[in-house]
Amino acid sequence: MSRPLRVAIVGAGPAGIYAADALLKSEVAAEPGVSVDLFERMPAPFGLIRYGVAPDHPRIKGIITALHQVLDKPQIRLFGNVDYPNDITLDDLRAFYDAVVFSTGATADRALPVPGVDLDGSYGAADFVSWYDGHPDVPRTWPLTADKVAVLGVGNVALDVARVLAKTADELLPTEIPANVYDGLKLNQAKEIHVFGRRGPAQAKFSPMELRELDHSPSIEVIVDPEDIDYDEGSIATRRGNKQADMVAKTLENWAIRDVGDRPHKLFLHFFESPVEILGEDGKVVGLRTERTALDGTGNVKGTGEFKDWDLGAVYRAVGYLSDALPKLPWDEATGTVPDEGGRVIENGEHLQSTYVTGWIRRGPIGLIGHTKGDANETVSNLLDDHANGRLHTPSSPAPEAVEAFLAERQVRYTTWDGWYRLDSAEKALGEPQGRERVKIVEREDMLRASGA
């Protein structure tokens, strides 16, 4: 093949950008060359780094700098505000590209099957995260009227949600939170935040550093009940075999034995409490019923039949994210992922020719940004192997201009990488008068205008 290899990547989150990077670092990139087009439904790239990671984690947002350098490469184009399949279908992509990689991540909340989950005041963490991160497609207000709040789940998303609920609006002001989020947080009445886990300290899924950061806020008093520190043989084995789990358990132990201080917002980390019902009155959340659990020797827990009702005004369910099935691709309902082998999409036991997946849509919604890099490398290595062995299909219109003409003809208002620079400057300019690094622009129309779409 004398022309460059043409690859479409759908989803410009970390996995998609790392996949583009891997393609450009490959031998094929030198000769005959690789050209990559990223299609992203948001007007801006970066996926959950922009619309998931909490605003008070600027250190992690530094990863954007590395991803920036990838997107700066001339062989990569970004087509933002382009939705698969509404704006471009699989057949369209096949007409333009030798291969298509899907890296569409995860956006929604996993269901929690307990009664009362639909009550007013029972919220999915993903919805709250989308609000405070200024996602373009969600309402701009959030009811923060409850003074006692539950967060269900013991992973990093639960920590983010609990921390944002427990911090003051002014603590979050130096971050990039949009004006409507600052105004909303100013009205936040939460004084007690109760985080609940079914299992024990050794089974918590927090990252040690994220957990310790909870204690750095001058407005948050983190409280752990000494009764909740318990280990069985399975837990001890987990601690021995997993350094992170051991560090988390040690931090929790230290917090359990110290005196409770007087910081204004109390954040309780409860273990061995399994939520069994969200309690309501007149359609609104008024509490949570939990069942006390106990370790069974293996690190798992069983119910003790001892129930407790907690008086609470809102419940946030942070029990995991969920990916959306992608039209025209096979789907595994059980795992909520596209079935694959080494990143090759598998349908009826066969590789769906020239079609690949990477990131959370492939592995499920677990793991940090850095984990998507190895995943992208594996997918790309198999794609290149298929290319080297003549297993890719041949597109009918491989010329790069054909895609632009197609989108223009469809009247899709797409953004570009240059457009991101314009949006970036506009957000920085918004922050400057307040001495802030940036303030996010949230409305889709405003983002498109700032990007010059």
CB of 118 to ligand FAD, least distance (A): 22
Q: Which one, 60 or 173, has the nearer CB to ligand FAD?
A: 60
Residue among 24, 34, 39, 205 that touches ligand FAD (CB under 6 A): 39
Residue among 157, 172, 252, 288 that touches ligand FAD (CB under 6 A): 157
CB of 50 to ligand FAD, least distance (A): 8
Q: Does 193 bind ligand FAD (CB under 6 A)?
A: no
Q: Does 134 bind ligand FAD (CB under 6 A)?
A: no
By CB under 6 A, the count of residues binding ligand FAD is 34
- What residues have CB less than 8 Å from 255, skipping those under 6 apart? 215, 222, 223, 224, 269
Q: By CB neighbour count within 10 A (0-12 exposed, 13-18 middle, 19+ buried), where does 19 fall?
A: buried
| CA angle at 413 for the pair 407 and 419, rounded to the nearest 5° | 110
Q: Does 369 bind ligand FAD (CB under 6 A)?
A: yes
Q: Which one, 14 or 287, has the nearer CB to ligand FAD?
A: 14
CB of 31 to ligand FAD, least distance (A): 29
CB of 425 to ligand FAD, least distance (A): 21
Residue 97's nearest CA partner among 395, 407, 357 is 395
Q: Which stretch binds ligand FAD (CB under 6 A): 51-59, 187-195, 258-266, 422-430?
A: 51-59
Contact 16, 70 (CB under 8 A): no
Contact 415, 453 (CB under 8 A): yes
Alpha carbon 248 to its chain centroid, in Å, reads 22
Q: How far apart are CA 170 and CA 353, in angstroms?
A: 52
Biggest CA pair distance of the chain: 71
- x/- mask, ligand FAD, residues 376-405, rule CB under 6 A, reads ------------------------------
Residue among 6, 7, 8, 16 that touches ligand FAD (CB under 6 A): 16
Contact set for ligand FAD, span 79-118 (CB under 6 A) = 83-84, 103-106
Residue among 25, 26, 58, 60 that touches ligand FAD (CB under 6 A): 60
Contact 231, 327 (CB under 8 A): no
Q: Which stretch binds ligand FAD (CB under 6 A): 179-187, 190-198, 296-304, 367-375?
A: 367-375
Contact set for ligand FAD, span 430-449 (CB under 6 A) = none
**330 three-state secondary structure:** coil
φ, ψ for residue 262, nearest 5 deg: -120, 25
Tokens 């949600």, residue located: 161
CB of 369 to ligand FAD, least distance (A): 4
- x/- mask, ligand FAD, residues 199-218, rule CB under 6 A, reads --------------------
Residue among 9, 22, 48, 152 that touches ligand FAD (CB under 6 A): 48
Q: Does 36 bind ligand FAD (CB under 6 A)?
A: no
Q: Does 160 bind ligand FAD (CB under 6 A)?
A: yes
- What residues have CB less than 8 Å from 2, skipping those under 6 apart? 32
Q: Are strands 350-357 and 99-102 parallel, antiparallel or unpaired?
A: parallel
Q: How far apart are CA 76 and CA 71, in angstroms?
A: 6
Q: How far apart are CA 15 and CA 374, in angstroms?
A: 9
Q: Does 320 bind ligand FAD (CB under 6 A)?
A: no
CB of 88 to ligand FAD, least distance (A): 8
Q: Which stretch binds ligand FAD (CB under 6 A): 176-184, 297-305, 328-336, 366-374?
A: 366-374
Residue among 8, 100, 129, 165 that touches ligand FAD (CB under 6 A): 129
For the record, the structure tokens of 274 come out as 């399994």
Q: How far apart are CA 59 and CA 435, in angstroms?
A: 18
Q: Characterize 211-250 residue by residue with b for buried, 16 or more Cβ atoms within 10 angstroms of its Cβ, and e for exposed.
A: bbbbeebeebbbbbeeebbebbebbeebbeeeeebbbbbe
Q: Is the peptide bond before 32 cis (omega within 30 degrees of 0)?
A: yes
Q: Which one, 9 or 279, has the nearer CB to ligand FAD?
A: 9
Q: Which stretch binds ligand FAD (CB under 6 A): 5-13, 225-233, 266-274, 428-436?
A: 5-13
> Which residues here bind ligand FAD, judged by CB under 6 A?
10-16, 39-42, 47-48, 52-53, 57, 60, 83-84, 103-106, 129, 156-157, 160, 321, 359-360, 367-369, 372
